[in-house]
């Protein structure tokens, strides 16, 4: 019986497309519409450079005028600005020994692709939540922090969550999903504030935080300190995060073989090139520009600057304690 190896089971072109599609399908932030494909980013990513410059026209302002037969109407100005996103590069390799349990039976490539898709779906979530941490550290006017109040006033409550939603004023209804740590989710359950409803696409059910009528995504990468009991709820609008992935200019998957190591060693290398960007917030490149930002750099307040008005950035954070 022939030995099943990475080399004879992986077709890179098919593998890449399969992993890319499944990684987004498996990610809750994609499924909820928070992170969406952005055509403008796709076009700009193909143009090269570490930074992706996205020009935009600012909203027109001023009151309308009453026509006059004797005086010319005033002319309002049209102003433009730029948002800057960052090209990101990530890579991961798993050896043949690490994938040994998948290298048997039927549909080997599908099972390996599923494993990689699970891995990248989780990585995209880590990157998104690190981005949020940095953005909220910079955009403090998008944060409602009651965690330093005395006693019960510091505790998570629906009134505070509603206040956080209305940070966006009359654009509050843009915020349609929230994300919390599992400890906070459990606290919300105990307060009977979570409902399970059928998904709009008819596939299964979703959890909804009823005071905001917002979909709930539970992830332990959302800030929570088990010692102080301080936590956060991130509030998102649909399309708040733009995303695009491209294999242009990189070898996205390849089999590495080191025949001189022991009896020989093989690994499957998978590379990702993408933009994951909070729309309306500019990336500030650090002085020592990295090949690609680390999660720690994404979490730094100094690396983010607000570029659009508050109502046009569909992000907010509620900070509190639980008991």
d(CA 51, CA 86): 5
Give the 3-state DSSP-derived string for the chain, with helices as H, strands as E and coil as C. Answer: CCCCCHHHHCCHHHHHHHHHHHHHHCCHHHHCCCEEECHHHHHHHCCCCCEEEEEEECCCCCCCCCCCCCCCCCCCCCCEEEEEEECEEEEEEEECCCCHHHCCCCCHHHHHHHHHHHHHHHHHHHHHHHHHHHHHHHCHHHEEECCCCCHHHHECCHHHHHHHHHHHHHHHHHEEEEEECHHHHHHHHHCCCEEEEECCCCCCEEEEECCCCEEEEECCCCCECCCCCEEEEEEEECCCEEEEECCCCCCCEEEEEECCCCCCEEEEEEEEEEEEEECCEEECCCCCCCCCCCHHHHCCHHHEEECCCHHHCCEEEEEEECC
149: left (phi over 0), alpha (psi -120 to 50) or beta: beta
Record the pTM: 0.84
269: left (phi over 0), alpha (psi -120 to 50) or beta: beta
Q: How far is CA 111 from the centre of its chain?
A: 25
Here the tokens at position 271 are 């590379």
Contact 45, 53 (CB under 8 A): no
pLDDT tens-place string over residues 263-309: 667 778 899 999 999 999 999 998 877 899 999 999 999 999 999 99
d(CA 39, CA 137): 28
d(CA 140, CA 121): 29
Amino acid 187: pLDDT: 97
**Residue owning tokens 């909220």:** 136
Cα dihedral sign, 20-21-27-28: positive
Strand partners of residue 244: 275
pLDDT tens, position by position, for the chain (323 residues)? 344 455 555 566 677 887 888 888 889 999 999 999 888 888 888 777 788 887 766 767 778 888 888 888 787 777 777 789 999 999 998 876 655 555 555 555 677 788 889 999 999 999 999 999 999 999 999 999 999 999 999 999 999 999 999 999 999 999 999 999 999 999 999 999 999 999 877 778 999 999 999 999 999 999 999 999 999 999 999 999 999 998 888 888 888 877 766 666 777 889 999 999 999 999 999 887 789 999 999 999 999 999 999 999 999 999 999 99
């Amino acid at each position: 019986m022939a030995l099943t190896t990475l080399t004879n089971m992986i077709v890179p072109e098919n593998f890449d497309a399969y992993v890319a599609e499944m990684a987004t399908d498996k990610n809750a932030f994609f499924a909820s519409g928070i992170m969406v494909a952005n055509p403008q980013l796709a076009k700009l990513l193909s143009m090269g450079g570490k930074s992706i410059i996205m020009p935009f026209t600012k909203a027109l302002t001023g009151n309308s005028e009453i026509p006059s037969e004797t005086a010319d109407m005033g002319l309002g100005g049209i102003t433009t600005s730029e948002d800057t996103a960052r090209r990101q590069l990530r890579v991961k390799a798993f050896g043949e020994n690490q994938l040994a349990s998948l290298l048997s039976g039927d549909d080997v490539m599908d099972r390996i692709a599923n494993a990689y898709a699970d891995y990248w779906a989780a990585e995209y979530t880590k990157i998104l939540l690190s981005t949020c941490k940095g953005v909220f550290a910079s955009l403090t006017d998008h944060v409602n922090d009651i965690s330093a109040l005395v006693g019960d006033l510091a505790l998570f409550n629906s009134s505070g969550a509603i206040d956080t939603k209305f940070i966006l004023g009359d654009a509050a209804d843009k915020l349609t999903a929230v994300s919390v740590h599992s400890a906070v989710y459990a606290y919300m359950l105990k307060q009977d504030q979570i409902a399970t409803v059928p998904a709009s696409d008819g596939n299964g059910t979703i959890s909804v935080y009823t005071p905001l009528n917002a979909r709930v995504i539970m992830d332990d990468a959302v800030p929570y300190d088990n010692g102080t009991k301080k936590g956060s709820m991130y509030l998102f609008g649909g399309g708040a995060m733009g995303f695009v992935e491209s294999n242009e200019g990189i070898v996205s998957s390849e089999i590495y073989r080191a025949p001189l190591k022991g009896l020989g060693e093989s690994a499957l290398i998978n590379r990702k090139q993408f933009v994951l960007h909070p729309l309306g917030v500019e990336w500030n490149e650090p002085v020592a520009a990295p090949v690609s930002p680390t999660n720690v750099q994404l979490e730094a307040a100094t690396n983010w600057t607000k570029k659009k008005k508050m109502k046009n950035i569909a992000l907010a954070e509620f900070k509190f304690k639980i008991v």
